[in-house]
Structure 1
Amino acid sequence: MPYLSPAEIRSKTFRRKRQGYDPGQVNEFLLIIADALAGRLRLNPDHVRTVRFATVQNGYDPLSVDGVLHLLEFQVRNGIVPPTGLNTGADLYARKLPKTGTGYDRAEVDAFIARAAANLDGRGAMTSTEVRNTRFSTTSGLLGRGYQVQAVDTLLDDLEQELRFRGR
């Protein structure tokens, strides 16, 4: 099984079983692991190995969750985060963002991406903290089209991770 990026961990889903792990608890813990791998917080890998979840009806399949947690414990223990693929500004521009009736304001996102692309190409001083704290206005269906929120957030996660790897 390939290693998971923080963005993939945040969007991970599992099959459901008649009796399984509480999805809310699992999802919350996965967010913590994603933040740890992204360098936002420290997490003891033994905590990943020993975590327990409540069992509920129509919960996540325990075998699937345990398998992913086993891999994530190894990643946390060894600090393994797969590459983001954002080596240059061209790589950033190649990530096409889906448009939607409501979402993040396209002009704001496009301006930010232009700055980030220049930064990846060595022309700027953007930091991972700046990326993490970036906020965009949202649009309504009546005023114009926006970019899909989840797609932009995933791109920001990857950009933040890349800048952390570069020591910024």
Structure 2
Amino acid sequence: MTSGRSDGSPPPDSGGGEPFLRPTQVRTATFRTVRKGYSPDQVHQVLHIAADALAGRIKFHPDHVRTAVFKVVPNGYDQKQVDELLALLEHQLRNGIVPPTGIETGEKLLAVKIPRGANGYDRGEVDAFLARAAANLDGRGKMTANEVRNSRFSTTSGLMNRGYQVRAVDALLDDIEQELRFRGR
């Protein structure tokens, strides 16, 4: 099964031997392509909605995951891998499993190393936002999950200043948002 982790590692374990997925893993899931498989665009549409549901952003009935139908196309996603991930997602949504983010304190958040890229988010803006989020995680602030979701940053051109990689920052924001939703904020 493909876990959705870009590094190829398996999904985290819930402690009871059962793996669970974080919204970021679902959003960035990758699958082997095969001669005839599921339409990648259609698969990613469902996965993005399911990831939002896992993060608590929207209500999404688990039956929608189970009954998802994808067009079979040349060079599509391996059907077995997609079906396995969808089964895990359905189970997680049906049972209300909210996976931990691993960033339950400001110290852990600030310890995250964000890779830099030629075109990315302005490091100063991101660092200031993360400092506020870290203080909030430690009980010093009133940041909400919606504030994290709606945060925007300027981008850099890369000519004079390398920014933070957009995907890495967005994944970190997903985790912060999920942690705040988990805390009822």
- Coarse TM-score class (shorter-chain normalised): over 0.9
Deviation at 1:102, TM superposition (A): 1.4
Q: What TM-score do the two structures reach when normalised by structure 1?
A: 0.98
1:47-98 deviations in Å (ceiling 9; x for gaps): 1111110000000000110011011000111111210011111010111000
Please name the residue that 2:23 is paired with: 6
Deviation at 1:107, TM superposition (A): 0.3
- CA distance, structure 1, for counterparts of residue 25 and residue 42 of structure 2: 17
- CA distance, structure 1, for counterparts of residue 102 and residue 53 of structure 2: 20
Please name the residue that 1:51 is paired with: 68
Please name the residue that 1:67 is paired with: 84
Please name the residue that 2:164 is paired with: 147
1:93 aligns with 2:110: yes
What's the RMSD between the two structures over aligned residues? 0.8
Please name the residue that 1:23 is paired with: 40
Please name the residue that 1:102 is paired with: 119
1:136 aligns with 2:153: yes
- CA distance, structure 2, for counterparts of residue 96 and residue 21 of structure 1: 35
Please name the residue that 2:138 is paired with: 121
SS in 1 for 2:121: strand
> What residue identity is the alignment partner of 1:88?
T
Runs of 4+ in 1 over 4 A off after TM superposition: none
- CA distance, structure 2, for counterparts of residue 101 and residue 62 of structure 1: 36
SS in 1 for 2:160: coil
1:123-152 deviations in Å (ceiling 9; x for gaps): 111000100000000000113110000000
Please name the residue that 1:42 is paired with: 59
SS in 2 for 1:158: helix
SS in 2 for 1:63: helix
- CA distance, structure 1, for counterparts of residue 131 and residue 87 of structure 2: 39
Q: What TM-score do the two structures reach when normalised by structure 2?
A: 0.89
Which has a greater percent of helix?
Answer: 1
Deviation at 1:112, TM superposition (A): 0.4
Q: Percent of aligned pairs with the same residue?
A: 66
Which structure exhibits the higher relative contact order, with contacts defined as CA atoms closer than 8 Å and separated by 6 or more residues?
1
Runs of 5+ unmatched residues, structure 2: 1-17
- CA distance, structure 2, for counterparts of residue 25 and residue 60 of structure 1: 10
> What residue identity is the alignment partner of 2:125?
E
Contact 2:132 2:141 (8 Å CA) reproduced: yes
